[in-house]
């Protein structure tokens, strides 16, 4: 009998079955094994599946790929994170194209209470380097720094995070059996002790240019906020910024000189009202509502003793950990969507909870 992990990896290997469809399949059938054992009639009920995808699911038999990946994971102490796993980055669950499987090598908390992505051009200026280092130096120490381990602003952000004792995660556009660019091997090794490396790609996946937009959606989707330091009007950073905007994350752009091509993308994001102007860390933290002090839960409950039974239940559940997704609360309480929305609105208006970018919920 094959393990659930075997089926999870197999599901990611099937051609023409992408992350959006895989997410729908898992939401419907609950487990990867149940997807494979489902009848064609059951599969045809899934929105957007099509006859070709059903045929691929039922006829796929390249089991050697799965066996090789399992051996690679075990040999290299890699942690596979399927979309239903508790340790899977919760913020990604609210992205329609969330990766079904992630491969993780590191020690950081991928569900940290505060996560910031810092991105920018590969050909940075001294101004961009100084701003990136300054931003990280002034952030609270519990912030997890995400970037793409590329040349330029990405690498500067990772190095500044390590220097200032932040946890930092590099999201890769290839498998964990190699590293691109190879010049960052030493940096990547150091990051694994205070953060880690994350990818949705299995072994033998090279750093093909078509993989980096897929990498960028993870950089955007994992974070509460993305800061674009320097970028031209076209390029990977603009793709990441647009994705952060689409995912309803907070997006900031560092302004630069009007005649500097390296700042043209940032100025465009600001002009289009997609990004907030990054002026200083205090304003950044205030915008994210990260400057407010947390009161002990007991005092909060005493202050709001007039809460309804359902509201009290939500507050009690939120005491269990720092962040919950709306889906997690719905699964725990089993209320319809409109009722849950009304409860959350009431609690937010009373300043008992915060709705954090990415549809995450925390006690105020």
- Of 138 and 1, which is predicted with more confidence? 138
- Of 329 and 227, which is predicted with more confidence? 227
Verify that 184 and 258 share a domain, yes or no.
yes
Domain termination site, one of 36, 59, 75: 75
Model confidence at 357, in pLDDT bands (50, 70, 90)? low
Verify that 121 and 256 share a domain, yes or no.
yes
Q: Which of 158, 136, 149, 211 is nearest to 179 (CA)?
A: 149
Token couple for 109: 């908390």
Token couple for 272: 């289009």
List the CATH number of the domain containing 132.
3.40.50.450
Token couple for 296: 């002990």
pLDDT score recorded for residue 16: 82
Place of tokens 């720094």: 145
Q: How many domains does the chain have?
A: 3
Verify that 132 and 251 share a domain, yes or no.
yes
Backbone dihedral region for residue 241 (phi beyond 0: left; psi -120 to 50: alpha; all else: beta) = alpha
Q: Which of 334, 336, 333, 303 is nearest to 318 (CA)?
A: 333
What number of residues does the chain have? 364
pLDDT score recorded for residue 275: 93
Q: Is residue 94 part of a domain?
A: no
CB of 7 closer than 8 Å to CB of 33: yes
pLDDT score recorded for residue 364: 72
Verify that 24 and 147 share a domain, yes or no.
no
Verify that 172 and 255 share a domain, yes or no.
yes
How far apart CA 330 and CA 100 sit, in angstroms, is 21
pLDDT > 70: what percent of the chain? Answer: 95
Verify that 278 and 202 share a domain, yes or no.
yes
Q: Which of 125, 98, 313, 106 is nearest to 197 (CA)?
A: 106
Verify that 189 and 272 share a domain, yes or no.
yes
List the CATH number of the domain containing 55.
1.10.150.20
Query: DSSP strand E in 88-217: where?
Result: 101-106, 114-119, 143-147, 168-171, 195-199
Token couple for 311: 């509201």
Model confidence at 15, in pLDDT bands (50, 70, 90)? confident
CB of 35 closer than 8 Å to CB of 71: no
- Of 125 and 328, which is predicted with more confidence? 125
pLDDT score recorded for residue 345: 84
80 bridge partner residues: 103
pLDDT at 246 over 90: yes
Q: Is residue 217 part of a domain?
A: yes
How far apart CA 353 and CA 356 sit, in angstroms, is 9
pTM metric for this prediction: 0.79
pLDDT score recorded for residue 254: 94
Verify that 195 and 62 share a domain, yes or no.
no
Q: Is residue 87 part of a domain?
A: no
Q: Domain residues for 36?
A: 4-75
Q: Is residue 341 part of a domain?
A: yes
pLDDT (tens digit, 9 = 90+) per residue, 199-232? 999 998 998 888 999 999 999 999 999 999 999 9
Q: Is residue 92 part of a domain?
A: no
Verify that 211 and 347 share a domain, yes or no.
no
pLDDT (tens digit, 9 = 90+) per residue, 64-99? 889 999 999 999 999 999 999 989 999 999 898 999
List the CATH number of the domain containing 344.
1.10.10.10
Verify that 218 and 304 share a domain, yes or no.
no
CA 222 to the chain's CA centroid: 2
Token couple for 20: 């959006």
Please state the φ and ψ torsions of residue 180, each to the nearest 5 degrees. -130, 130
CB of 83 closer than 8 Å to CB of 353: no
Q: Which of 225, 218, 224 is nearest to 278 (CA)?
A: 225
Verify that 156 and 219 share a domain, yes or no.
yes
pLDDT score recorded for residue 296: 47
């Amino acid at each position: 009998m094959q393990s659930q992990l075997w089926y999870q990896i197999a599901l990611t290997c099937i051609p023409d079955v992408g992350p959006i469809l895989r997410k729908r399949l898992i939401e419907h059938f609950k487990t990867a094994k149940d997807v494979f054992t489902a009848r064609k009639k059951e599969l045809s009920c899934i929105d957007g599946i099509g006859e070709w995808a059903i045929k691929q699911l039922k006829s796929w038999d390249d089991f050697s790929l799965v066996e090789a990946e399992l051996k690679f994971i075990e040999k290299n102490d890699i942690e596979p994170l399927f979309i239903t796993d508790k340790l899977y980055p919760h913020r990604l669950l609210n992205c329609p194209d969330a990766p079904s499987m992630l491969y993780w090598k590191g020690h950081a908390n991928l569900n940290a209470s505060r996560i910031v992505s810092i991105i920018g051009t590969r050909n940075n200026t001294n101004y961009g380097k100084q701003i990136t280092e300054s931003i990280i130096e002034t952030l609270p120490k519990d912030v997890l720094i995400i970037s793409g381990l590329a040349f330029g602003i990405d690498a500067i952000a990772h190095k500044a995070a390590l220097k200032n004792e932040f946890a930092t995660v590099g999201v890769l556009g290839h498998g964990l059996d190699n590293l691109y660019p190879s010049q960052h091997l030493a940096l990547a090794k150091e990051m694994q002790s205070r953060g880690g490396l994350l990818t949705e790609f299995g072994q033998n996946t090279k750093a093909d240019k078509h993989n980096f937009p897929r990498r960028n959606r993870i950089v955007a989707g994992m974070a509460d906020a993305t800061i674009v330091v320097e970028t031209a009007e076209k390029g990977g950073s603009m793709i990441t910024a647009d994705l952060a905007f689409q995912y309803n994350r907070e997006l900031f752009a560092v302004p630069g000189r009007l005649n500097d091509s390296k700042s043209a993308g940032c100025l465009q994001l600001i002009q289009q009202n997609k990004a907030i102007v990054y002026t200083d860390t205090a304003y950044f933290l205030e915008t994210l509502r990260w400057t407010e002090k947390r009161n002990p839960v007991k005092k909060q409950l005493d202050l709001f003793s007039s809460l309804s039974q359902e509201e009290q239940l939500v507050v009690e559940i939120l005491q269990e950990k720092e962040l919950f997704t709306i889906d997690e609360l719905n699964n725990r309480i089993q209320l319809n969507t409109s009722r849950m929305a009304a409860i959350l609105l009431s609690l937010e208006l009373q300043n008992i909870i915060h709705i954090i970018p990415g549809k995450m919920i925390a006690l105020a």
